[in-house]
Amino acid sequence: MTETLNEVSSLLDNALVDSPETGELRANRNIFTDKGIFELEMKHIWEGNWVYLAHEPQIPNIGDYYTTNIGRQPIIISRNKQGELNALINESLCE
């Protein structure tokens, strides 16, 4: 774990290419393909925070449902008999 964090930390330290001499200012391409950064984004951004799921009109009627994902978590949103929306992780689709 520590080794992975050190690798990601090193990559992030070099994530921005900023060279005033050449006028170059860009993101290092490696940050978009690194598996360690991907795992951290999934865990701390997509799977660890409040995330928009759907608009209420997408599930207009009692018994309607909508499926989506939060990161790698499959989600089902449904409208119950009282007309309220419920959301749950679809465990049957989890790895």
- For 48-77, what is each residue's pLDDT tens digit? 778 888 999 999 999 999 999 888 889 999
pLDDT of residue 4: 66
pTM over 0.85: no
When the pLDDT of each residue in the chain is averaged and rounded to a whole number, the result is 86
Distance CA 28, CA 18 (A): 10
- The b/e string for 8-31 (b: 16+ C-beta within 10 A; e otherwise) is beeebeeeeeeeeeeeeeeeeeeb
The neighbour count for residue 91, using CB atoms within 10 Å, is 8
- The token pair at 40 is 């951290």
